[in-house]
Homo-oligomer: A and B are copies of this chain.
Amino acid sequence: MATTPPPSTPPTQPPPPARVASTGARPEPGTARAGSRPCSVADALSVVGEKYSLLVLREVFLGVRRFDAIARNTGAPRDILAARLRRLTEGGVLEKTLYSTRPARHEYHLTDAGRELEPVLHLLRQWGDRHLTDRPPITVEHSCGTGLDPILVCRTCGEPVTEGSCRVHFQLPGWTFAGAVPAQAPSDDRPAEA
A contact residues vs B (CB 8 Å cutoff): 1, 11-12, 14, 16-24, 26-27, 31-45, 47-51, 54-55, 58-59, 62-64, 66-69, 71-75, 78, 81-82, 85, 92, 103-106, 113, 115-144, 146, 148-163, 165-172, 175, 177-180, 185-186, 188, 190, 192-194
Contacts and interface: CB of A to CB of B under 8 A. Distances in A.
Contacts of A178: 63-64, 69
Report copies per complex. Answer: 2
Nearest to A140: B166
A125 B165 contact: no
B152 A151 contact: yes
A70 B172 CA distance: 19
Contacts of A1: 134
B116 A127 contact: yes
Contacts of A137: 37-40, 170-172, 175
A95 to B, nearest CB: 14
Contacts of A166: 122, 140-143, 148
Given A17-B131, A62-B177, A138-B168, A124 B157 contact: no
